Amino acid sequence: MLANQCIAANGRFIVVLSGGSTPAALYRRLGHIKTDWQRWHIYFGDERYLPAGHPERNDTLARQTWLDHVPIPAAQIYAVPYAGSVYAAAAAYDALLAQTPRFDLVLLGLGEDGHTASLFPGPAAHANGLLYTIAVSDAPKPPAERISMNTQRLSEADAVWFLITGESKRKALTEWISGNDLPPCHIAPEGGVDIFTDLDVSP
């Protein structure tokens, strides 16, 4: 298993979790694997700008289905802060990521419009001086205010896995692999990305 290989090689496993509902089934299963949880470091590819514990936060789903049920040290679960404004929260996470090594694994989903994390089709949001995150205030998928890692930081990973299920994603997935300019196209780790899907699609 990738996590145990990374722990054996590097003494730690640094993983970025996806938001949305698709990963819930995976998160529930992860609670039953044999691993050294003390070596896991958890980041979030994006987060909704909502107070800690809010049911619509991405880390809330991960905690309820998995993280609250395994002994990963709390200090190694790096939640996106709810800090004064969506920009202040993005800036705080940006500063954390500046001190964060390359990721071992990034998990991502795909929205029906082709978004991933909180990177939506259309003109890229302004960086506003941030290197690794963006503050989103007009997300088409509610809630409107979000913090997201940018494509460059999501690409600084040894493995990037997209988890995509359901007929509603067929159009976006087909457009993506057919070469349409969608946010997932700009996530380009050296080793490429892997797509895990129940859909039978071709370019």
Binding site for ligand 6PG (CB under 6 A): 18-22, 46, 48, 58, 109-111, 115-118, 141
Q: Report the nearest approach of ligand 6PG to the CB of residue 56 (Å).
A: 9
Which one, 75 or 167, has the nearer CB to ligand 6PG?
167
Q: Report the nearest approach of ligand 6PG to the CB of residue 36 (Å).
A: 28
* Cα of 174 vs its chain's centroid, Å: 21
Which one, 7 or 125, has the nearer CB to ligand 6PG?
125
H or E element that contains 176: helix 170-177
Which one, 12 or 141, has the nearer CB to ligand 6PG?
141
Which one, 6 or 175, has the nearer CB to ligand 6PG?
175
**CA 194 to CA 52: how far, in whole Å?**
31
* Sequence-separated (6 or more) residues with CB below 8 Å from residue 35: 1, 3, 4, 7, 13
Q: Report the nearest approach of ligand 6PG to the CB of residue 95 (Å).
A: 21
H or E element that contains 164: strand 160-164
Angle (CA) 196 119 41, round 5°:
65
